[in-house]
Amino acid sequence: MSVEKILEKAKEEVRKIVPPSIKITDIDFEGPVVVIYTENMEEFAEHTDIIKQLAQGLRRRVTIRPDPTLLADPEKAEGQIREIIPEEADITDIFFDHETGEVTIEALSPGLVIGKHGSVLNELKKNIGWAPKVTRAPPLPSKTLSEVRSYLRSVREERIEFLRKLGRRLVREEAEGENWVRMTTLGGYREVGRSATLLMTRNSKILIDCGAMPSAENATPYLSVPELQPLDSLDGVVVTHAHLDHSGLVPVLYKYGYEGPVYCTAPTRDLMSLLLIDFIKVAFGEAKRAPYESTHVREVVKHTITLKYGETTDISPDVRLTFQNAGHILGSAVCHFHIGDGLYNIAMTGDIKFEKTWLFNSAVNRFPRLETVLMEATYGGYNDNQPSRGEASAELRGVAGRTLRRGGHLLIPVFAVGRSQEVMLVLEDLMKHEAIPTVPVYLDGMIWEATAIHTGYPEFLNSSLRTQIFQQNENPFLSDVFKRVENMEMRQTIADDPDPCIVLATAGMMNGGPVLEYFKTWAGDAKNTIVFVGYQSEGTLGRKIQKGWKEIQLVERGIELNLEVNMENVTVDGFSGHSDRRQLVRYIDNMDPKPERVIINHGEEFKCSDLASTLYKKFGFETRAPMNLETIRVK
């Protein structure tokens, strides 16, 4: 059946369900959604069961929007919004979303935007036509959030055209023949880095993650395989989370011809944008050529479709995707793929933390149906059992206390996203309760901006931290102990200052970034300490230091530097965003329903094979620890 006939059939179904009193002005496919435009938004609101009936009848997600002719010009509407809302509300941003017909009003005092019994909102609706959505302004303004919103405003026409084109592709006629499901391992199998997996069915091709390698060797996934050619034959790219070993080469796809969607959560989109742009800057700073340009990062943002946890959407004619919390970093997702009409179900964990942390709730392991699980094994080895968060806090207290009391500096290499915020929370708590001396905690690299993005998405944090963030006197991220490093001059001043301090600096594995400036200055002094709180991949500078190398060679502007390492070297486990071995086994043990097959990835070779063997012996599942470039038929 042609797309035009499918659309006409959808219109007939809508006419059957919607009462004649409600005027429908247009119906169209926009991405995975059937969009119904109407002049009677209020009547739709009164008939709450209609949307449910439409979704069931059309077997697709349905959204109702006001006819565009009812919407005031955004510039004029913004003037009316500022005129109607009391100045005391302190509006910080107004964002018009043409895809939904909503205007998001962000304010420090959202109650004043709403008004008594919704009086202000009602007046806004009458005057501007847009559906007002009120949110509390994040306590830390984010440049990234602002720039992403601004860019999406500027490309709204192109984006609507992209969504309509995608909508028609999603309803294309399915191929006939035998149903099958297979997965090809393109990167991140029996190794950590360059994560990429190709999911294929009779009708679909979906790429899950497209990451870079932390070390220089074998930097890219196997994107040249015949199954991926041409790149625009892909139905979609699904990104589990923003870390570069999972998202770092997504822009390369657009560089070489991909024009389709990227599916991820909203925080992943924003954090990914931040990290991808920084990836280019770091390459430039090291006189290397980045594999893509900023224009390709903008293409990623323009083509991104964001989903909330628990929200299901069609991503191809026979595949539906649902994201669930992975507990790893902000916006990280376990991806559940429902294939065919009940044919097969796959969950890909990405990176997971099966434990409530200072930032997030535990990873989800309950699904409606499930046959195969792809699970990480970063800490899947026999002896990879980590301390609890409480034990990690106590160990950091001991290390920080003795370093600061002997007049030393504490250097903590961190990933800007996730570990930075957890370490900040612990240090703030230790100083507040006088468990360690109160000294400046300097945040260098992207940490401040990443933290601001965290405060912009409180609904993705655990409930206790969410409450603290919106209490001005209780927000730990606003503590006076935290100081943002603004420029290179300030960085050098801090490195040369003899007074004790703590520095959190990127990059987490010490392959470039501002952390090296402090390390070069402090490495030779035994009073100082370097603390590793995150995974150090084989081949990285961080792993060499962690192993206890006493001499390190660095290249700076073409000149080789030989550094003697005398500073204390400590690894504080328990801060990791990855599950340890016990948590990984427990994740499967408590899974509902139990899978038939478990495929292991994202771990060093012996850890993947060891975890696969353990799960087989314990549960009797079929388990695999494939190498890169294997294809596994799962159905």
- Give CA separation, 130 vs 44, 100, 105, 334, in Å: 15, 9, 11, 34
pLDDT for residue 558 is more than 70:
no
Q: For residue 556, what are the contacts with CB-CB under 8 A and spacing of at least 6?
A: none
May I ask the CATH architecture of the domain 174-383+578-633? 4-Layer Sandwich (3.60)
Q: Domain ranges in the chain?
A: 71-137, 174-383+578-633, 393-571
Least confident of 211-220, 478-487, 620-629: 211-220
Least confident of 276-290, 321-335, 363-377, 538-552: 276-290
Edge-to-edge strand ranges of the sheet holding 91-97: 91-97, 102-107, 131-136
Q: Are 428 and 481 in contact (CB under 8 A)?
A: yes
Least confident of 439-448, 474-483, 556-565: 556-565
d(CA 137, CA 92): 7
- Give CA separation, 375 vs 286, 579, 602, in Å: 34, 11, 8
Average pLDDT over residues 343-371: 96
pLDDT for residue 136 is more than 80:
yes
Least confident of 96-100, 148-152, 576-580, 595-599: 96-100
The pLDDT, as a whole number, for residue 557 is: 67
Kindly tell me the burial class for residue 73, based on how many C-beta atoms sit within 10 Å of its own C-beta (0-12, 13-18, 19 or more): exposed
Q: What is the 3-state secondary structure (H, E, C) of 244-293?
A: HHHHCCHHHHHHCCCCCCEEECHHHHHHHHHHHHHHHHHHHHCCCCCCCC
The pLDDT, as a whole number, for residue 4 is: 80
The pLDDT, as a whole number, for residue 217 is: 55
Which single residue is written with the structure tokens 């901006």?
Answer: 449
Least confident of 42-46, 225-229, 272-276, 399-403: 42-46
pLDDT for residue 218 is more than 80:
no
d(CA 118, CA 115): 5
**Of 97-111, 443-457, 584-598, highest mean pLDDT:** 584-598
d(CA 232, CA 162): 13
Q: Are 573 and 386 in contact (CB under 8 A)?
A: yes
Between these two residues, 140 and 261, which has the higher pLDDT value? 261
d(CA 23, CA 38): 6
pLDDT, tens only, 138-151:
888 899 999 998 99
Least confident of 50-54, 59-63, 315-319, 558-562: 558-562
Strands (DSSP E) contained in 98-214 are 102-107, 131-136, 181-187, 196-201, 205-208
Residue 234 φ then ψ, to 5°: -65, 140
This prediction's pTM? 0.91
Q: In this structure, which amino acid lies at residue 433?
A: H
Q: State percent of the chain over pLDDT 90.
A: 67
Tell me: cis bond preceding 68? Omega within 30 of 0 counts.
no
The vertex-86 CA angle with 83 and 88, nearest 5°, equals 135
Structural tokens at position 146: 């602002």
Which residues sit opposite 36 in a β-bridge?
A: 27, 64
Largest CA distance in the chain: 81
The pLDDT, as a whole number, for residue 350 is: 96
d(CA 620, CA 490): 58
d(CA 474, CA 495): 30
d(CA 378, CA 326): 15
Residue closest to 466 by CA, chosen among 330, 269, 575, 333: 330
Tell me: cis bond preceding 230? Omega within 30 of 0 counts.
yes
DSSP-based three-state secondary structure for 422: helix
Average pLDDT over residues 51-69: 85
Which residues sit opposite 26 in a β-bridge?
A: 37
- What's CA 175's distance to the chain center, in Å? 33
CATH class (in words) of the domain with range 71-137 = alpha beta
DSSP-based three-state secondary structure for 372: strand
The pLDDT, as a whole number, for residue 207 is: 98
Q: What is the third-level CATH fold of 393-571?
A: Rossmann fold (3.40.50)
Helix 294-302 vs helix 156-170: crossing angle, to nearest 10? 60
Q: For residue 119, what are the contacts with CB-CB under 8 A and spacing of at least 6?
A: none
- Give CA separation, 556 vs 281, 287, 290, 464, in Å: 16, 10, 18, 44
Average pLDDT over residues 93-102: 84
